[in-house]
Chain A
Amino acid sequence: MLDLYVEGRSALHRLGPGWKILGLAFSGTVLFAVDHVWLSILWLAISLTLYAVAGLPLWRAWRQIRPALWLFALIFVVQVLLHSWQLGLLVIIRFAVLLLLAGLLTLTTRSSDMIDGLEAGMRPLHRLGVRTESISLAISLTFRFIPVLTSVVHEVREAQSARGLERSVFAIAIPSIIRTLRMSEEISDAIDARGF
């Protein structure tokens, strides 16, 4: 299964996903509650240090920010025109820190561990009458279905390209969706037959 996780043995890799999510939420709250540029710069330094601790090279950190660069430029221009360059700087740094930390969470945590964490976190909901095993089933089914449906979409696309329609949204979406919906009947019968 494809995953954005990067193999490693650092303390951050070993830390439980719940703690990392908590740290991310804490950082976001503090950064938005305290509108101070020096605090943001401090947090930026901490974030980059954490990348080093995780053994991730600087280009990994850069890759987290790169997609947002055009937006940074836009925000900075708007803030300079309306308020001050200091506020522009604060907004951009705060933004960059959140992207860096969220990226760090993704890079140092396996998707499967995140899902295990998620399921553990949902367990108390069971007492409130939520059927958490249905949620677990849905998550694992989706994992299994993604490669299946990717090949369905590919097959439909190849079939349509024989007709010169490989770039048509209709010619690809309609048959793919119908095949997907037809599959649901057989699969749910198979699951019920195994006594879920």
Chain B
Amino acid sequence: MATKDIVLIALFAALVAALGVVPNITLPMAGGVPITAQSMGVMLAGALLGAKRGGLAIVLFLVLVAVGLPLLSGGRGGAGVFFGASGGFLFGFPVGAFVIGYLFDRHIGQPSFLQGLIYVLIGGIGVVYVFGVPWLATVAEITLWQALVGSVAFLPGDLIKAVLTILIAREVRKAMPNL
């Protein structure tokens, strides 16, 4: 891996951390629903950096959270967050970023808005939930179905983030065509 790739991975990991530190970025069109810009970082990492670099950037971010830095939005951090109810979602994040990146990487040319959106939905929601829901079912001793129903509350927010990711990624790529 070239030095530039290592630097990009580290910069993006730090950016995801920084987005969690800055409070109160909300989305006007969602009726004031607070959207933490941080969880969008996972989708953006995949869409902008590609499979390998995007996935590794999120792994690196999570390693720093695990060793005790309060980098998750709301100042949470430490090994405990991985044991919590949403631990599975955290483990799903780097895989989700990888899958998004993979789908973008193998696409020839620029994907259209809809194609990009499908990629982000598969990786950023599909893959992440595949990790998060069984984990929730295991720690809470409930069935997969119950865990899935319990996670549906986050779906509207995640859908909005997926749309935002594509809009942001397209603007960024316009400004920086050769990432």
Contact = CB atoms under 8 A, between A and B. Distances in A.
Please classify the interface of chain A as helix (H, G, I), strand (E, B), loop, or mixed, using the class held by over half of its residues.
helix
Given A4-B78, A111-B69, A149-B17, A71 B85 contact: yes
22 contacts: A2-B69, A2-B70, A95-B139, A99-B84, A102-B83, A114-B67, A138-B9, A138-B56, A142-B13, A142-B17, A146-B71, A149-B11, A149-B14, A167-B25, A173-B37, A173-B40, A173-B44, A176-B19, A178-B175, A187-B11, A188-B4, A188-B7
Contact of B79 (A102, A153, A177): A102
Interface of B: 1-4, 6-15, 17-19, 21-22, 24-28, 35, 37, 40, 44, 48, 56, 60-61, 63-64, 66-71, 76-80, 82-85, 139-142, 146, 150, 164, 167-168, 171-172, 175-176, 179
A153 B18 contact: yes
Contacts of A154: 22
A138 B11 CA distance: 9
Interface of A: 1-5, 21, 24, 28, 64, 67-68, 71, 74-75, 78-79, 82-83, 87, 91, 95, 98-99, 102-103, 105-107, 109-111, 114-115, 118, 131, 134, 137-139, 141-143, 145-146, 148-150, 152-154, 157, 167-170, 172-174, 176-178, 180-185, 187-188, 191-192, 196
B63 A139 contact: yes
Given A102-B80, A169-B164, A149 B18 contact: yes
Contacts of B35: 169
Nearest to B77: A4
**DSSP class of B's interface residues: helix, strand, loop or mixed?**
helix
Given A142-B64, A169-B37, A187-B7, A75 B141 contact: yes
A176 B22 CA distance: 12
Given A105-B78, A109-B68, A114-B67, A142 B14 contact: yes
A106 B64 CA distance: 12
Contacts of A102: 78-80, 82-83
Contact of B4 (A95, A109, A185): A185
